[in-house]
Amino acid sequence: MGKLYYSIGEVADMFEVNTSLIRFWEKEFKSIKPKKNKKGNRLFTEKDIEAIKEIYHLVKEKGYTLDGAKSELKSAKNSGDENAQIIRKLQAIKSELNKLKDQL
């Protein structure tokens, strides 16, 4: 990788699927949001490709249905949100402990 944008053909080749499947997944999954140029050609970013990689793994390799993959991605996102909250709380606690240490 290393380019800013990839065409739908390049993305399809990366995953050895048809471009129609990439377009279908784009409609089904909100995490895939390619930009479009003036001609209407889709331009996929690294973030889009990562989302497709996750979907490909769940659907093609693990055999999830589309609804199952959507649920799995949603629960993974919620888990990530919870982890971020925990990290913020721990950082606040650490800050308070450092203040207390400095007062000693």
pLDDT digits (tens, 9 = 90+) for 60-79: 999 999 999 999 888 877 66
* CATH no. of 8-103: 1.10.1660.10
pLDDT tens for the chain, residues 1 to 104: 568 999 999 999 999 999 999 999 999 999 999 999 999 999 999 999 999 999 999 999 999 999 999 998 888 776 666 666 777 788 888 888 998 889 88
pTM, to two decimals: 0.70
B/e letters for 39-72, b = 16+ CB within 10 Å, e = fewer, are: eeebbbeeebbebbebbbebbeeeebeeeebbeb
